[in-house]
Structure 1
C-alpha cells in the first residue's frame, strides 16, 4: 500500500526530475560539499518555512514554543498543498525566492539538492534511524535532517489466521506465503494478501523483498544501475507469484477499499505504513484492534523494509541561514519530535524518542520502531523517479502481461542505463 503523502511526493519527484532546470548538475556529478558551522546564541530575525499539507497547518502552534525560547525570532509558515508543491519550489528556486527552511519528501532529495545547504557538523546524524539519515545524502553529502519517518510492516488478521490453523506470526518468506495461502484456503478469504499489481508507485512495494534478498539498485559508488541481478530476479519472482497463483488480486485496492477488504476478511493481510493502524481501528470499530497484529517484514537474508517520510532542509539562498539551522536543530530534538508525534501522528526520526511510553508501550507502533532499525531507501540520484516510473510499467507487464521477471528486469536495466545516474 502507498500512503497518500508518499504517492504525491513521488509524483512531484518525477515531475521535478523531468522539468527541473535551475538546479541541474553536470554529467560528471558533484564533489562532496563541506558544511559551515552555525553561529552560537539564540535565533533572531525572521525565518520563513514552507511545509506541505497537514504539517504546514499544524506547525504554527508547535513553533510558538520555539519563538518563546528565542524571543528575538519570528517564524512565518506557509502551508503548501501537495499538488502545488512542484511549481512552488521550482519557481522559487529558479527565481531565487526560496524560503529559509522547507519540508522535503525523501524522494525529492536527488532532484533539488543543488539548492540545499550541506548539513552542519553540529548535527549528529548517528542519533537518527540509519535509513532515515541516509535519505538526506546525495553523492556523499548530507543535505538536511530527517524530520519524521515511516516504514512498512505486515498487517494480518490473527483471528482468521487462527481459524486457518496458524498461531505464529510470519517470520520468513515461506511463512508469509503459507499464511496468505491458508487465509485464502482455510479462513474464507477471497485473496490471502493485498499487494500492488502495477501502476504508479507499485514497484516500490517490491523493494523490501529485493533488499531483503541482497539486491542493490546501484553499485557501491553509485555510478551504475544494478537492477537485473539474480537476487532481484528471485525477489520479483517471489512477489509476482502471489498474482500468478491467484493469492493476490490483479486489481489495485486503494483507499477505503483496502481497509474494507481487511476488515471484512476478503483480503486480510497487507504490507503498509503506520497510518493504517488508526484507519483500520476506525473502520473495524470497537474491539477490532484485538483482531489483527503488525509484525516486521518477512526475512530472506535480512528483513529490510522501505523508509520514507520527510526531511527538513535549509536553502543556500536563505536570508537567515544561522537561525534557520537553529530551527531545524530544535525540530530535531527528541522531546520536540514527541510533541509533534502527539499532535500529528508523524513518527519521530530520532531513535531515542521511541523509548517514550507513548511509543514503546504501544504494541503495534513499537513494531514500526523495531523495523526502522533495518530499512533502506531508493537512491538519491537525479534519474531515480524516471527509472521508478519505468519499473512500475515493467512490474505490471510481469503481473498482467506475461513477461518473466528476468525479461522485465533486463528491459528495466536497459532503460536505466540509457538514463544514467546523473554522475
Structure 2
C-alpha cells in the first residue's frame, strides 16, 4: 500500500526516552497564526509521493502569501526514522514534517512536536478516527493530512452467482458469499485477507472493532477479551474452510481477481486504480466492512505537524491551516489521490460523483486507528506473528490472544 507503510517500522526508533514535553497552552501561537499572511521560509519534510509532489503544489500557498517560501525536502520512507531522530537530537528539525499515523506516539513522546492550536484547528473538522491519531496523552500534535480506510472489493458477476448481487452486508453474508463464490461461481478462492503477514493487524482489528472489542482501555493493552476471540475465530474460519489462500504470492492478488479466480478481497482505495489498470474496470464494486455489531474499519494515512524548534513556527501553522482548507484538500486528492481528512471536503463533486469513493467516505466516519502508544509497532509485530499461527498453523485463537496479551503487557505502552 505504497511506501508509506514502511512508517510502521519507525515507531521504536522514534520512542526516545527522557525527553520532556510541554503540554501547556499555545494561545500566542493561535493568535499569531490567525493574523495576517505568512512570511519567511517554511521548511518541510515529506515522504514518498507526497514529498515528490508537495513542493510544486505549495506554489498555490505562496501565491496567496507572496512573502513566504515553502521549501520541501523529499525523504524516502526508509530514511525517515534516522533523519527525524537525528534532527530532533541536534535540535535541527524542519519547521514541518509529514508523520505517518503509527509514528505519532513515538514522536510526540520526544517532546519535539508543537501542540496543535485548538482554536484554529477544531477537531470536528476532521474524521474522528483520524484526529485521534494526533492525540497523545490528551494533547493533539499536528493535524490529519490525508486518510485511508478499508472495504470489501468483490466481483459483481461472481457475487450475483453466489446469491449476493449487492455484496455482503453482515459477517454471515461475507462468509456465505465467499463459500458460494467458490462452490457456485467458479472462483478458486472466495476471499483474500491477510494470513498474519506483516501489517495483518490492519485487516484483523476491523473485525475485532466491529464486534465491540477494544485493544486498549487508554492505559494498557486489552487484547485478551471474548469479543476479540470471537472476531479472530471468525477470521480464522476463512482459512480453516479453505475459502481464503494462506500463501498467496506477492503480486498475485490483482491478476487473480481480474481473472475471477479470487472473488473478493479486503483493501483500500488505492486498489481501485490498480485493478482498473489491469483490466478489471467495470467488473467489481466495493462494500463497507460487514456488520458484526457495527461496521468499523481501520483508518490510516498521514498527519502533518510543526516542531517546537521550528525557526518559522507561526508561518508553519499557517501552512497547515491552508492544507486543511476543504478546497485545498480536494485539489491535493486530485493531485496525488490522497483522500481528504477534512470531512467537509467530501461534499465536493470530485468525490461525491464516484460510487466507490462514497463507500470509503462513509466508512471513514466510524473507522478507528490503533492507540498512539510509542510501543505500538512492537506490539503489532507480535500480533502479526500470533495471527499467522492462527491462520496458517491452525492455532487456537483464544490461546493466541493470551500470548499477544502477555507480550503486550511485557512491552508496555511506553506512556
The answer, yes or no, to whether TM exceeds 0.5 is yes
Instruction: State the partner residue of 1:80.
Output: 75
Separation of aligned partners in 2, 1:368 and 1:24: 40
Whether contact under 8 Å (1:23, 1:112) holds in the other structure is: no
User: Is 2:267 the counterpart of 1:272?
Assistant: yes
* Alignment of structure 1 residues 349-360 onto 2, 5 Å: 349-360=341-352
Separation of aligned partners in 2, 1:87 and 1:209: 34
Instruction: State the partner residue of 2:115.
Output: 118
Separation of aligned partners in 2, 1:59 and 1:177: 42
Separation of aligned partners in 1, 2:372 and 2:341: 18
Aligned positions, number: 408
Separation of aligned partners in 1, 2:412 and 2:95: 32
How far is 1:168 from its partner?
Answer: 2.9
How far is 1:5 from its partner?
Answer: 3.3
| Structure 1 segments (4+ residues) deviating >4 Å | 21-26, 30-33
Whether contact under 8 Å (2:162, 2:180) holds in the other structure is: yes
Q: 2:152 aligns with which of 134, 140, 154?
A: 154
Whether contact under 8 Å (1:35, 1:120) holds in the other structure is: yes
User: Is 2:36 the counterpart of 1:41?
Assistant: yes
Taking structure 1 as reference, are residues 268 and 6 closer, same or farther at Cα in structure 2, changes over 3 Å only?
A: farther
Whether contact under 8 Å (2:170, 2:292) holds in the other structure is: yes
How far is 1:31 from its partner?
Answer: 8.1
Separation of aligned partners in 2, 1:20 and 1:132: 20
Q: 1:98 aligns with which of 73, 93, 107?
A: 93
How far is 1:401 from its partner?
Answer: 2.5
Separation of aligned partners in 2, 1:271 and 1:262: 12
* Alignment of structure 1 residues 210-229 onto 2, 5 Å: 210-219=208-217, 222-229=218-225
Separation of aligned partners in 2, 1:34 and 1:413: 36
Separation of aligned partners in 1, 2:83 and 2:157: 48
TM-score by length of 1: 0.93
Separation of aligned partners in 1, 2:325 and 2:53: 17
Whether contact under 8 Å (1:250, 1:399) holds in the other structure is: yes
Separation of aligned partners in 2, 1:376 and 1:394: 22
Query: Runs of 5+ in structure 1 lacking a partner?
Result: none
Instruction: State the partner residue of 2:54.
Output: 59
Cα offsets for 1:32-58 (capped at 9, x unmatched): 543333302111111100000111111
TM-score by length of 2: 0.95
* Alignment of structure 1 residues 4-403 onto 2, 5 Å: 4-13=2-11, 17=12, 19-20=13-14, 22=16, 24=18, 32-36=23-27, 37-38=29-30, 39=32, 40-113=35-108, 114-121=111-118, 122-219=120-217, 222-254=218-250, 256-284=251-279, 288-403=280-395
Whether contact under 8 Å (1:197, 1:252) holds in the other structure is: no
Whether contact under 8 Å (1:191, 1:266) holds in the other structure is: yes
